[in-house]
Structure 1
Amino acid sequence: MAKSANHQKLNLLQVFRGIAAVMVIFAHCDLIFNQNFQKDFFGKIFNFGGSGVDFFFVLSGFIILYIHQSDIGNRSKLKSFFIKRVTRIYPIYWVVLTLKLSASLFFAYDPDTSQRNVLEIFKAFILFPQRQEILASSFLGVSWTLSYEVFFYIIFGLLIGLKPKLCFPIISTWLLLTFTHFIGIFDLPKDSFMLNFIFNEHNLEFFLGCVAAYIVSKHKIPQEMTLICLGAFLYTLGAINYYYKVVDISPVISFGIPSMLLVIGSTSLEMRKHVHVNKILIYIGNASYSIYLMHGFFINNITKLILKVAPDITENILILNMLGLIIAFIALLFGCAVYSYIEKPLLSIFKPKLATT
């Protein structure tokens, strides 16, 4: 999280963003290994890494309310809010998506892309919700999460742009319907993609982040380490349950709530006293968005190259797993390079204060 007026810079949240990005890298290593090698990556023990997305959503909810809570009800701040959000999300995303589409169309990297119509391509560029199978086969697989991010910004924008007596009933009703759908009281037609997107349980994770920001800003939390340990313990339980599938439980409960506890505990701790955080970890957190966007493209291409150059290597599972760790590490470095040499220069084109959170 970047420093904003009257807000303390919270480096631990940047570390969490980096950790979430690394978890997603490992989860996608297994996904791509299965796709290209028909082999598991470390016996699927990193499959829970997809929960990094749940962590990202909670972090995003926290960051937005923590920084912009004073803007609520102040319509004059609406334009500034959306400029910040657009400049943070879209420029590097457009670059990466354009590179992917160019590779698909000119080098037959992904033949399915040529089957997509202009409307689907336009939707991909503006992050309008589309089915995951379309995004994964033709555009950027991770972009489905960005659609939820943009939707959350629009919802929060209502808090800024509308009077409380109008926006609070709208948002409260939406939250109530989302929650009742989550617990199974409110049913939606399964064939209605947009309704299932609008009332999807992932939206509750942004709300959990907002709750965390409200608690931290309004109350002093005396037992920060207890919350951090409890959050880490519950997150670990969620990861174990995800692997063994002991109980069928929603990621909102198994990862969203523990993420909220981790955020409340860590931010409360950092607000109370100085916490030394390694600069490399902060840098990885800063680069997490570029890492998130680029890692799948990199891992997919490297594994395909290995399959062509040394197909026999896939027969030795130990060597393949070690190679996977190396690929994951290089994917991390590649994402960091994209951040330093593409994302940061792109952001510097805009006003720095509008593009740093």
Structure 2
Amino acid sequence: MSQKRLNLIQVFRGVAAMLIVFAHTDLIFNQNLNQDFLFKIFTFGGSGVDFFFVLSGFIIFYVHRYEIGKPNRLKPFLLKRITRIYPLYWIILLSKISVSLFFVYDSDISQRSMGEFVKAFLLFPLDRHILSTSFLGVSWTLTFEVLFYILFALLIGLKPKLARPIIATWLLGVILHFIGVFELSENNLFLQYLFADYNLEFVMGFLAAYVLLKFLLKSKINWEMLLISLGAFMYTLSAINYFYKFIETSPVMTFGISSTLLILGATCLELKKTINVPNLLIYIGNASYSIFLMHGFFINNVTKILNKLLPDIFSSILILNILGVIIAIISIICGYIIYMYLEKPLLSIFKPKVATT
């Protein structure tokens, strides 16, 4: 069934990717140069991950809702999800490992076991320090994507009377862990991953799509601008609170909820009327996965090379911040190039069976 392309969703993808790029620029500048980037105003940029998770839950339900309870749709669904994530990820991961081994970029890679390599390639849970030092640091987020795809696959492949109790039990465990009813050992990565707070953001996106389709689009009340305004206001407050630490709270309760409101309002608005969106923002959104996967590798290496060749160039705060912006922008451009000449051709290989949602 054909569905209207949601350009604002693509814009949100691009914005989330750019937030992560600028947040990681600050992180890498601190690690490599012991300097802050733009006075740490983008430290909240990690919330782009929360935005991505809510977006993912929303898109999966919005696109695949008619496949729930239809086992014959399981294979196409899994094929679409696997080919969407893994081929590009494997290529970039192999490139990073190759550079590490042949150019002594990171000697820590040689200390990794075969089991850790297998887990990294299959996107099984791994210690985030190991991922950052030896593999792709951002890949921890993809392990949650894979979990959500598996859970949604249960809704497609199993009868409702079997799938719903399984999903309900898992969700109850996530909620009980979130509110502190039970704690999990930090050494048990699998259970930490299975019941992590981040999983609630996929559920938020899932429920947002359901509410949109079942209620908001049928409502005579125009909720969209109220939802967008409230979401933007909450997101801004969450960013300020993240910087100043006024209240200790989970990103799920701040960025997760505000992202959900923004997505609900924006999609409701776009489904009711035509929205003219600048092509540049759509292009960045289309390339968001490539940008997400490779930006840290690029920023890290460029920063190290510049610091080695021109160590005094970072002594000026003004020049440091200008260079940081330039490096971040170039990493986004490089991500778009990878999208055009690698990710997009890879996806076209699997068409028409593979959707590029």
Tell me the TM-score range normalised by the shorter chain. over 0.9
Asked whether the 8 Å contact 1:113–1:137 carries over to 2, the reply is yes
Asked whether the 8 Å contact 1:62–1:209 carries over to 2, the reply is yes
Asked whether the 8 Å contact 1:84–1:355 carries over to 2, the reply is yes
Alpha-carbon separation, structure 2, partners of 1:105 and 1:69: 44
Number of residue pairs the alignment of both structures matches: 353
Q: Displacement of 1:353 after TM fit?
A: 4.7
Correspondences of 1:298-337 after superposition (within 5 Å):
298-337=298-337
Q: Displacement of 1:106 after TM fit?
A: 1.0
Q: Displacement of 1:348 after TM fit?
A: 1.3
Asked whether the 8 Å contact 1:13–1:267 carries over to 2, the reply is yes
Q: Does 1:227 align with 2:223?
A: no
Q: Does 1:111 align with 2:118?
A: no
Query: What amino acid is the match of 1:136?
Result: S
Asked whether the 8 Å contact 1:34–1:40 carries over to 2, the reply is yes
Aligned partner (choices 28, 32, 35) of residue 32 of structure 1: 28
Aligned to 1:342: 342
Deviations 1:113-166 (A, max 9, x none): 111111111111111111100100000000000000001000110000111111
Q: Does 1:281 align with 2:261?
A: no
Alpha-carbon separation, structure 1, partners of 2:336 and 2:2: 29
Q: Does 1:218 align with 2:214?
A: yes
Partner SS, residue 115 of structure 2: helix
Correspondences of 1:73-84 after superposition (within 5 Å):
73-84=69-80
Aligned partner (choices 139, 146, 149) of residue 150 of structure 1: 146
Partner SS, residue 19 of structure 2: helix
Aligned to 1:54: 50
Alpha-carbon separation, structure 1, partners of 2:352 and 2:213: 25
| Distance change (3 Å), C-alpha of 1:126 and 1:336 | same
Aligned partner (choices 16, 19, 39) of residue 23 of structure 1: 19
Q: Does 1:120 align with 2:116?
A: yes
Partner SS, residue 326 of structure 1: helix
Q: Displacement of 1:191 after TM fit?
A: 2.5
User: Gaps spanning 5+ residues in structure 2: where?
Assistant: none
| Distance change (3 Å), C-alpha of 1:60 and 1:323 | same
Deviations 1:166-190 (A, max 9, x none): 1101101110110111011132233
User: Gaps spanning 5+ residues in structure 1: where?
Assistant: none
Amino-acid identity (%): 61
Alpha-carbon separation, structure 2, partners of 1:131 and 1:190: 10
Asked whether the 8 Å contact 2:54–2:259 carries over to 1, the reply is yes
Aligned to 1:189: 185
Query: What amino acid is the match of 1:247?
Result: I
Aligned to 2:68: 72
Query: What amino acid is the match of 1:154?
Result: I
Asked whether the 8 Å contact 1:87–1:355 carries over to 2, the reply is no
Query: What amino acid is the match of 2:345?
Result: P
Aligned to 2:266: 266
Aligned to 2:3: 7
| Distance change (3 Å), C-alpha of 1:115 and 1:153 | same
Aligned partner (choices 141, 164, 167) of residue 168 of structure 1: 164
Alpha-carbon separation, structure 2, partners of 1:131 and 1:180: 23
Alpha-carbon separation, structure 1, partners of 2:103 and 2:330: 23
Deviates more, 1:184-193 or 1:161-170: 184-193
Partner SS, residue 324 of structure 1: helix
Alpha-carbon separation, structure 2, partners of 1:314 and 1:183: 44
Alpha-carbon separation, structure 2, partners of 1:128 and 1:18: 26
Partner SS, residue 354 of structure 1: coil
Alpha-carbon separation, structure 1, partners of 2:116 and 2:6: 38
Alpha-carbon separation, structure 1, partners of 2:299 and 2:355: 28
Deviates more, 1:6-15 or 1:288-297: 6-15
Query: What amino acid is the match of 1:166?
Result: L
Asked whether the 8 Å contact 2:76–2:353 carries over to 1, the reply is no
Alpha-carbon separation, structure 2, partners of 1:263 and 1:141: 27
| Distance change (3 Å), C-alpha of 1:90 and 1:302 | same
Alpha-carbon separation, structure 1, partners of 2:339 and 2:316: 34
Partner SS, residue 275 of structure 2: coil
CA RMSD of aligned residues (A): 0.9
Q: Displacement of 1:314 after TM fit?
A: 1.5
Partner SS, residue 274 of structure 2: coil
Q: Displacement of 1:30 after TM fit?
A: 0.5
Partner SS, residue 241 of structure 2: helix
Alpha-carbon separation, structure 2, partners of 1:340 and 1:135: 26
Partner SS, residue 105 of structure 2: coil
